[in-house]
Amino acid sequence: MGNTHGMRNAYGVETVRAAERELMARLPQGALMQRAAAGLAAACADLLGRVYGARVVLLVGSGDNGGDALYAGARLARRGAGVSAVLLAPGRAHPGGLAALLAAGGVVLQEDAEDTVRRADLVVDGIVGIGGRGGLRDGAVPLAEAAREARAVVAVDLPSGVDADTGEVRGAAVRADLTVTFGTHKPGLLVDPGREYAGSVRLVDIGLALPGEPEVEALQHADVAALLPVPGAESDKYRRGVVGVAAGSDRYPGAAVLAVAGALRGGAGAVRYVGPAGGAVLARFPETLVSDRGPAKAGRVQAWVVGPGAGDDAQVVEEVLAAEVPVLIDADGLRLAPRDVVRERSAPTLLTPHAGEAARLLGTGREEVEAARLSAVRELAGLYGATVLLKGSTTLVAGAGGGAVRVNATGTPWLATAGSGDVLSGLAGSLMAAGLEALDAGSVGAYLHGLAGRFAADGAPVGAHDVAEAIRYAWRDVVRTG
Ligand SMILES: NC(=O)C1=CN([C@@H]2O[C@H](COP(=O)(O)OP(=O)(O)OC[C@H]3O[C@@H](n4cnc5c(N)ncnc54)[C@H](OP(=O)(O)O)[C@@H]3O)[C@@H](O)[C@H]2O)[C@@H](O)CC1
Ligand SMILES: [K+]
């Protein structure tokens, strides 16, 4: 699972356009499109295995995205593929691309387009790229549906119907097995729901220079390895940080045990537990420091985790928020933490809602958050003046002061299991106690947690405690291969 390449960055459409203009001014006309088409054709050939005799159908829209598809189709036709093009806006298809395809022996389909698409070995989606607005238009919807029955679908730059800047899918969109994207990843390829439509993503370097901060970035193994806390020779347990866990209730003692389980694997030197589930915690983890007094009197910690399974104890949340150390707020704690109090804290705060909790904090619906995850996480971070980790199939972490949003895709659907979030909050809180900044703690925590979920599950259902157990395997994997 190792990936030694650096951070995966995604830039928005405006930045890409500016870089494109700058580069185009220095290159002969059409050079960029040829680079794109060459990379696209190579990826299609790899996917097909055998190009000669393959049935390839191009879906061609009115812009340059269609031009890329046509030139790539011409390359495949010259290698012996049977290439036909469906023109969605017949009078407006890229003239140079169309001429190249016809010269190479490709044809334009006049009828039975949907049937031909269904029977294709490969459908190339060049309906619309970064110039697209909104979901697919009516004429394209039946073709996108037919494409699902083809053997493979490759999206040009991004799946048509996916918003490049946000990953939002308003209406129908093409589902690709592979997306060949040019110059840089686009946020919509890394953030759900767009990411799910993209399939695997291959980046083709066309020479774009993309300076400055990306909109979205994804940590890779090497980035995580560089951020993990490493104890020095003379660090004792206190110098490695103590993480306080204020969690669990008489009704939910398990949440306390799971948060402590995560915290013990997060790099802090010790875990201090405060709350009514001390007995259950000690029975499972005798190394925990258990206090029967409230957070304010529990002794020093370098970071607090509050909220998992906490019920309605507003007093505990209040005491934790008053501490001048980093605080992670999860689950019930999110409901009990007043926005203005969080805003006014001088130490960092990390909120870790799932979509339903985020929706409640934003006064909107869960579906709205799921559909527009990037804007939801940014909005929450702005409202609370805090770092926000929005859980989901791709977890997003937005910093308190804006900047690049971190996206994590190491998770597995098996992580959607009771108590899995409690483990994550313990883990990320522990990383904060060990000295990581809130944004790093959230994104490194999500990365390890997702990887641990994969290792623990290995294709079968897992419980949250299995995930906690597997954190150390994930950690080791990152250190060894990062
Ligand atoms: N960046 C780079 O460096 C490089 C970029 N390259 C490529 O160029 C692509 C961008 O090309 P682009 O600007 O021509 O826009 P593009 O996405 O083809 O479509 C815009 C057209 O589609 C239409 N339209 C809009 N919404 C729609 C919808 N929902 N459903 C259907 N149609 C819709 C709209 O027409 P309208 O009908 O609205 O007048 C408009 O004319 C980029 O993604 C990459 O592939 C490479 O070649 C080389 C390097
Ligand atoms: K496309």
User: Which ligand is the nearest neighbour of the Cα of 63?
Assistant: 1
Mutate to test the pocket of ligand 1, among 86, 128, 201 (most ligand atoms within 8 A of CB): 128
Average pLDDT over residues 231-243: 81
Q: How far is the CA of 416 from the centre of ligand 2 (A)?
A: 31
* Amino acid residing at 422: D
- The Å distance, Cα 260 to ligand 1 centre, comes to 50
Quick one: average pLDDT of 425-438? Answer: 97
Tell me the β-bridge partners of 153: 123
Boundaries of every domain in the chain: 8-213, 221-481
24/316 Cα distance (integer angstroms): 59
Kindly identify the ligand whose nearest atom is closest to the C-alpha of 92: 1
- Which of 65, 75, 170 should be mutated for ligand 1, with most atoms under 8 A from CB? 65
Predicted local confidence at residue 203, as pLDDT: 98
The torsion defined by the Cα of 231, 236, 237 and 242, in degrees rounded to 10, comes to -80
Q: Which of 13, 34, 64, 141 to mutate to test the pocket of ligand 1 (most atoms within 8 A of CB)?
A: 64
Paired tokens of 209: 């220079």
Q: Which residues line ligand 1 (CB under 6 A)?
A: 16, 20, 32-33, 36, 61-68, 127-134, 136-137, 156-157, 182-183, 206, 208
Closest ligand relative to 58 C-alpha: 2
Nearest CA to ligand 1 atom 36: 62
| Centroid of ligand 2 to alpha carbon of 68 (angstroms) | 9
Q: Whose CA is nearest to atom 2 of ligand 1?
A: 20
In sequence order, the β-bridge partners of residue 178 are 154, 200
Specify the pLDDT at position 239: 78
Q: Whose CA is nearest to atom 40 of ligand 1?
A: 63
Annotated ligand binding at 67? The verdict is yes
Ligand 1, atom 15, lies closest to the CA of 131
**Least confident residue range of 51-60, 148-157, 235-244, 299-308:** 235-244
Q: What is the pLDDT of residues 12-59, one digit of tens each?
A: 999 999 999 999 999 999 999 999 999 999 999 999 999 999 999 999
Q: Please give the single-letter amino acid code of residue 78.
A: R
Backbone phi and psi for residue 346, each to the nearest 5 degrees, phi listed first = -90, -30
Tokens 């641990």 map to which residue? 452
**The ligand 1 atom nearest the CA atom of 24:** 3
Which is it for strands 82-87 and 55-60: parallel, antiparallel or unpaired? parallel
Say how many residues make up the chain: 482
Q: What letter represents residue 261's amino acid?
A: A
Question: Is 129 flagged in the annotation as binding?
Answer: yes
Please report the atom of ligand 1 found closest to the CA of residue 89: 37
Burial of 196 (0-12, 13-18, 19+ CB in 10 A): middle
- Provide the CA 270 distance to its chain's centre, in angstroms: 31
Six-digit token pair at 222? Answer: 């090497």
- Is residue 17 part of an annotated ligand binding site? no
Instruction: Choose one of 130, 137, 158, 185 to mutate for the ligand 1 pocket test, by most ligand atoms within 8 angstroms of C-beta.
Output: 130
- Count CB atoms within 10 A of the CB of residue 212: 7
Mean pLDDT of 295-313: 95
Q: How far is the CA of 259 from the centre of ligand 2 (A)?
A: 43
- pLDDT tens for each residue of 57-108: 999 999 999 999 999 999 999 999 999 999 999 999 999 999 999 999 999 9
Return the CATH class of domain 221-481: alpha beta
Ligand 1 pocket test: pick from 22, 60, 62, 174 the residue with the most ligand atoms within 8 Å of its Cβ. Answer: 62
* Backbone region of residue 299 per phi and psi (left: phi > 0; alpha: psi in -120 to 50; beta: other values): left
Cα gap 188→133, rounded to integer Å: 13
CB of 152 closer than 8 Å to CB of 185: no
Percentage of the chain with pLDDT > 90? 92
Instruction: Give the global pTM.
Output: 0.96
Q: What average pLDDT score do residues 357-378 get?
A: 98
Q: Is 135 annotated among the ligand-binding residues?
A: yes
Question: 3.40.50.300, 3.40.50.10260, 2.40.128.260, 3.40.50.800: which CATH number matches 8-213?
Answer: 3.40.50.10260
pLDDT at residue 1 tops 50? no
Q: Which ligand 1 atom sits nearest the alpha carbon of residue 35?
A: 48
Mean pLDDT estimate for the chain: 95
Q: How far is the CA of 366 from the centre of ligand 2 (A)?
A: 29
Instruction: Give me 193's structure tokens.
Output: 């729901």
Other C-beta atoms closer than 10 Å to the C-beta of 171 total 11
Query: Is 66 annotated for ligand binding?
Result: yes
- What DSSP letter does each residue of 64-75 carry, written as one string? HHHHHHHHHHHH
Q: Which ligand is nearest to the CA of 137?
A: 1
Please say if the pLDDT value at position 3 is more than 70. no
- Within 323-463, where are the H helices? 332-336, 339-344, 355-362, 366-371, 373-384, 420-433, 438-457
Residue having the nearest C-alpha atom to atom 11 of ligand 1: 64
User: 């794109």: which residue's tokens?
Assistant: 36
Q: Nearest residue CA, atom 20 of ligand 1?
A: 131
Which residues have a Cβ under 8 Å from the Cβ of 475 and sit 6 or more positions away? 228, 265, 448
Q: Is 65 annotated as a binding residue?
A: yes
* Pair 167, 101: CB distance under 8 Å: no
Between CA 377 and CA 195 the distance in angstroms is 17
* ipTM confidence score: 0.98
Torsion angles phi and psi, residue 385, rounded to 5: 55, 40
In this prediction, residue 5 carries a pLDDT of: 53
* Alpha carbon nearest to ligand 1 atom 47, residue: 33
Which helix (H) or strand (E) covers residue 99, if one does? helix 95-103
